[in-house]
Amino acid sequence: MKAVILDENQKKASEHFSGACIVVAGPGSGKTRVIAARIIRLIEKAIEPETIVAISFTRASALEMKNRCISMCPKSRRVNFGTFHSVFFKILRSFRGFTYESLLDEDEKRRVIRRLMATHCVENAQDEELLESIITEMSYMKNDMLALADYKPQNMSASDFKRVCNSYENYKASMGKIDFDDMLILTHKLLLEMPGALESIKSSFRYILVDEFQDINRVQLEVLKLIAGKSGNIFAVGDDDQSIYSFRGANPEFMDEFENFFTQSKKIILDINYRSCKEIIDASNRVIMHNSERNDKRMKNSRSESGCVNVIAPKDSQEEAQTISKDILSSIKAYSMRYCDFAVIYRTNTQSRALVDVFMDYNIPFSIADRVVSVYDHWAARDVISYLKIACGAGKTEDYARIVNRPFRYISREAVSGAKGSGDFIAALKNNSNLNMLQIKALESLERDFTMISRLSPSDAVSYIRTSVEYDRHIISYCNDKGIKCEGIFEVLDEVEESGGSFCTVGEFIKHIDRVKEELLLQKTRKKSHADCVTFTTMHGAKGLEFKRVFIIGAVEGLLPHEKGLDGGILEEERRLFYVALTRAKDSVLITAPKVKYGKPSQESRFLEELLEYHKAGAVAGEYIYHKKFKLGKVLGSDEGIIRVKFEDGIKMLDYVMCLKNRIITAWNKSGQDSGQKK
């Protein structure tokens, strides 16, 4: 067996033998190594590998764990490695007789739910983002063990949601199918109803190891409690500071619940970060310490190399994306870095719009780590694009049919259907004998709107559609009818309007949108080929990744923390998202806080003030700072927050905290390099 080098706490965790143990493992602290080392130690102590079950959240992480263990100890190939779903399905196959033919795969599930949404006349049933939101909500409801009657959906009306959910359950029952969420619920039900099955599973799974424990949901926790029992051998590894999936049912309080349920459990903290430089670790510590609901830990650095955390304030998202593009190109040239050494991390997918536009202009290859989505594919964006296409003469029948009642112009479905087969959609409607004068006047007004839109610049055209055509009013009415919030839809429309500002004519803008869609179609191929490219990812999608240099964009109030997080009262999770983004970086981080967002002045994220907090004494003598006016300087000493700095043109006295808060000092490290990059 190969020896594994471990630090003191890692060794303590890996040598834990019996009873419950929770390991609080901070970012970059080597949790995978610890889990693998413990599996090997158990085998060394003559524990039968078949009685060990190691559970991960993804097939990729489960396979990585398996391969690592086998490379250290061939006997470990007999260990039960798997995801929650694969382990639970194995139980259902043994005791409920399910087969792989019983499974409804995710693609089929999407097709079925989309069809049911259309059957129940759910508006925008063909929209990909709406479908994704509904599927996420259905999963959350089940994973959190909530009753359909009590659940309040966020993305469609409660009545529509209930109809779709009930029809979906009926479909599965009629086809004899279960989906991945059912695996969890049915396993929990089985263990409660069949004591014999529970005892059999307990004897089979005598040693349970769970990776990424902070990501588990309610039903997974309840199953683990049943299988392990009060005094069971369960070894959970996670970090409450990285619990960011509440929309899936995860809750950092489950780590506390673990300790309360397993009353004799041990707690071990892995607090050495082997990934990031000291400056990044210190900055992330300063941020996360503002959360109250967490284990008290402060990460320490292992690496001796210095790095930096910088904050800049570009004019807008366009300049933000251009600055990042130039930074990447210059770093590759100066330091022989590769595109794959960089990542751009954002709070929501809509923020990637400007990045995609600018990176295409600069010919910088990029790959989107999350599900590939375009702001232009959102149903509201497609409505606006249909208006633009018609106005510039590129509209098709489906474009007319899409927008003729958005906002509502009282044109019946029968009239719309009859006009689809004609060469002139509007004329066919106006010639319909069943239309009254009010409807005809609405159509004539629409024709005048098309003429006006054709004369405007793209950005002004979108603004005209939203205000004069009253599309924004339509959105408000739509959201009120459905009982949902409209901020997310307006964010999409703001992005489309802002994007149009880079083009002179509506026709040019439409061609650009088509080019973006073509580029995004290439993303799936690029992912599979593992090409050398910059990674674009949301903060949720960044979990588990690491890069030499990370850009965190949109650090302004309303985006970070996001207004949804503030409305939902989960500010601490928003802070954890920022913490996760920061700790993806090995060497350096550049955070951007645009001065203007969607044409309006923005306010810097509250998290930036937390990030830049320093002890009152100021900087430490010997450190280097970078001043906007005086450039690079060496700190000679400090007294009550006033620092003496030696610059090229002499010694200056500076108010350290004031300079930090006003971005007069934007970079610092011990080596005197303002970029934080190394050759």
The secondary element (H helix, E strand) that includes residue 21 is strand 21-25
Task: Please check if 249 is assigned to a binding site.
Answer: no
> Which pair of structure tokens corresponds to residue 25?
């493992």
Where b means 16+ CB within 10 Å and e means fewer, 223-236 reads bbbbbbeeebbbbb
Task: Please check if 334 is assigned to a binding site.
Answer: no
Cβ–Cβ under 8 Å, residues 219 and 145: yes
Task: Please check if 32 is assigned to a binding site.
Answer: yes
Question: Rounded to the nearest 10 degrees, how much is the dihedral formed by the CA atoms of 179, 184, 185, 189?
Answer: 130
CB atoms within 10 A of CB 219: 23
The secondary element (H helix, E strand) that includes residue 627 is strand 624-627
Give the span between the Cα atoms of 532 and 47, in whole angstroms.
44
Cβ–Cβ under 8 Å, residues 600 and 642: no
Task: Please check if 483 is assigned to a binding site.
Answer: no
Helix residue ranges per DSSP H, 404-470: 413-419, 425-430, 437-454, 458-467
Closest by CA position to 461, among listed 505, 395, 525: 505
How far CA 466 is from CA of 383, 480, 493, in Å, comes to: 11, 17, 8
Task: Please check if 568 is assigned to a binding site.
Answer: no
Largest CA distance in the chain: 88
> Which pair of structure tokens corresponds to residue 162?
């209930």
**CA geometry: angle at 36 spanning 34 and 39, to 5°?**
110
SS3 per-residue string spanning 294-356: CCCCCCEECCCCCCEEEEECCCCHHHHHHHHHHHHHHHHHHHCCCHHHEEEEECCHHHHHHHH
Query: Within 13 A of 573's CA, how many CA atoms are on the CB side?
Result: 23
Residues in Cβ contact with 219 at an 8 Å cutoff, skipping those fewer than 6 apart: 142, 143, 144, 145, 184, 185, 188, 249
Task: Please check if 454 is assigned to a binding site.
Answer: no
Task: Please check if 544 is assigned to a binding site.
Answer: no
Q: Specify the DSSP class assigned to residue 25.
A: E
Cβ–Cβ under 8 Å, residues 611 and 331: no
Task: Please check if 31 is assigned to a binding site.
Answer: yes
> Which pair of structure tokens corresponds to residue 649?
């043109």
SS3 per-residue string spanning 532-559: CCEEEEEHHHHCCCCEEEEEECCCECEE
Cβ–Cβ under 8 Å, residues 268 and 13: yes
How far CA 551 is from CA of 95, 123, 179, 482, in Å, comes to: 49, 37, 37, 37
The secondary element (H helix, E strand) that includes residue 652 is strand 650-655
Annotated binding site for ATP: 25-32
Annotated binding site: 25-32
